[in-house]
Amino acid sequence: MIKSIRDLDLDNKAVLLRADLNVPIKNGVITDNTRISKVLPTINYLRSRGAKVIILSHLGRPDGQPDQISLECPLLGRENLSLAPIARELKGILLGPHCVEFVEDCIGQKASEAVASMRSGDILLLENLRFHKGETQNDEAFARELAKLGEIYVNDAFACSHRAHASLVKLPRLLPAAVGFLLLEEIKQIDSILDAEQKPMMAIVGGAKISTKIDLLNKLAGSVDYLFIGGILANCFLKCRGANIGASLCYSDKLDVALNILQIAEDNSCQIILPMDAIVSVNGMGTRYAPRSLADISARDLICDIGPDSIAKINQIMENCTTVLWNGPLGVCDDLSLSVGTAAVAHKIALLTSKGKIKSLVGGGDSMEIINKLKVQEEYTHLSTGGGAFLKYIENRSLVALEGLES
């Protein structure tokens, strides 16, 4: 069993809470505060138990270079990656009299002075962990600097817990450590859906890069009853089966990987289903889109989405399943009006779940964005906050940051 914050004596303790507050920010404005709201139950619990809550997070990929709080970063061609706007957001959404302070560094004198002045129930947000190279380098000395600031460590950053970074892997070994409610809920939900072995089970995997999904596909091909492969991933598999994909993107160096996955599926009685038709960008111009059976795709067409027959096939199989796991859009998803296949599948999963016919489990940043845009998020059994962490957890049923946190 993993150690929960409920197992800790928190009264008047300085708690280092590793959260994932890596929210999207445009021109200094937070455009989606979901990640902040997800960690509120843990923050509120810690405060209610009299802890001093010191929040650690990263934002973006600053490569160990600090940004000034007040400066934009036009020369770097990216947003300022200070956590200052997140401190303001936290102040706005937390109820109660306690204050939220912010310090412009996550280690060192300023940080330790700010911690020293905290009272029970106070919240302190430290600056972006990744302003120090030691974070992504999983550096022991950097972890020791962080550890000086607290007495207890709590990880509630599920979406980062597949990363061997100092605040996630080294730090929990230096202090009494446990996990927060968001992380506990993720594991409980994913475990309960996968452990129930409610068969038949269908997995739907789409997206762009096959290299990031090989382990997941290997795992699923060996365990589920039906595996639908869509998105750019599918092109590799279609090519292996000698199908026509026109000028569509295909990672040709990964054909052996695809063949191996097909073999694993065959050995484990997993039925692999590939798109049988597509929406193509006619002649790859991006101006005219048309449904095509695979046989009718011309040499210059680009596959952008799955077609109506593929959607019907997925729907028909899902009707007979009890569990559906989904990761990755089945076509281009930058524009919702073009994501017809992905939207159809998202709606169908939502409908079957709300009728109690299936349990549904989804992870992945782009898949989640579509579900949110379609406003069907309430219908699903569990939407993971993780992308890479979700895939890794399904593959291994553990994450590097959780090792050693068992009670």
Q: Is 365 a catalytic residue?
A: yes
The active-site residue out of 61, 188, 209, 241 is 209
Contacts of residue 353, defined as CB under 8 A and 6 or more positions apart, other chains included, come to 359, 360, 379, 380, 381
Residue 279 token pair: 């929406």
Residue 195 token pair: 């452990």
Q: Using the rule CB under 6 A, which residue among 121, 172, 275, 329 binds ligand ADP?
A: 329
Q: Which stretch binds Mg ion (CB under 5 A): 79-87, 153-161, 221-229, 365-373?
A: 365-373
Q: Which stretch binds Mg ion (CB under 5 A): 81-89, 249-257, 258-266, 357-365?
A: 357-365
Q: What would the DSSP string read from start to end of 80-97?
A: ---SHHHHHHHHHH--SS
Q: Which stretch binds ligand ADP (CB under 6 A): 47-55, 86-94, 188-196, 365-373?
A: 365-373
Q: Using the rule CB under 6 A, which residue among 30, 208, 351, 400 binds ligand ADP?
A: 208
CB of 197 to ligand ADP, least distance (A): 24
Q: How far apart are CA 299 and CA 379, in angstroms?
A: 40
Q: Using the rule CB under 5 A, which residue among 366, 379, 392, 405 binds Mg ion?
A: 366
Q: Is 209 a catalytic residue?
A: yes
What are the two backbone dihedrals, phi and then psi, of residue 328, each rounded to the nearest 5 degrees?
Answer: 95, 130
State the CB neighbour count (10 A cutoff) for residue 153. Answer: 26
Extended beta strands in 311-351, E state:
323-327
Partner from Mg ion, ligand ADP, none contacting 231, C-beta within 5 to 8 A by type: ligand ADP
Cis peptide before 200 (omega within 30 of 0): yes
Residue 298 token pair: 């011309």
Radius of gyration from C-alpha coordinates of the chain: 23
24 lines the binding site for Mg ion (CB under 5 A): no
364 lines the binding site for ligand ADP (CB under 6 A): yes
Q: Is 388 a catalytic residue?
A: yes
Cβ-based nearer residue to Mg ion, 67 or 366? 366
CB of 340 to ligand ADP, least distance (A): 12
Contacts of residue 312, defined as CB under 8 A and 6 or more positions apart, other chains included, come to none
231 lines the binding site for ligand ADP (CB under 6 A): yes
Cβ-based nearer residue to ligand ADP, 134 or 231? 231
Cβ-based nearer residue to Mg ion, 144 or 373? 373
User: Which amino acid, residue 384?
Assistant: S
Which contiguous run of DSSP H or E holds residue 183? helix 181-195
284 lines the binding site for ligand ADP (CB under 6 A): no
Q: How far apart are CA 26 and CA 15, in angstroms?
A: 31
Residue 247 is classified by DSSP as T
366 lines the binding site for ligand ADP (CB under 6 A): yes
122 lines the binding site for Mg ion (CB under 5 A): no
First-to-last CA distance in the chain? 6
Q: Using the rule CB under 6 A, which residue among 82, 136, 367, 384 binds ligand ADP?
A: 367
CA dihedral sign, ordered 165, 166, 171, 174: positive
Q: Using the rule CB under 6 A, which residue among 189, 365, 373, 374 binds ligand ADP?
A: 365
CB of 289 to ligand ADP, least distance (A): 12
The active-site residue out of 35, 52, 163, 239 is 35
333 lines the binding site for Mg ion (CB under 5 A): no
Q: How far apart are CA 11 and CA 153, in angstroms?
A: 14
Q: What would the DSSP string read from start to end of 212-228?
A: GTHHHHHHHHTT-SEEE
365 lines the binding site for Mg ion (CB under 5 A): yes
Q: Which residues bind ligand ADP (CB under 6 A)?
A: 206-208, 231-232, 303-304, 327-329, 331-334, 364-367, 387
Active-site positions read 35, 209, 365, 388
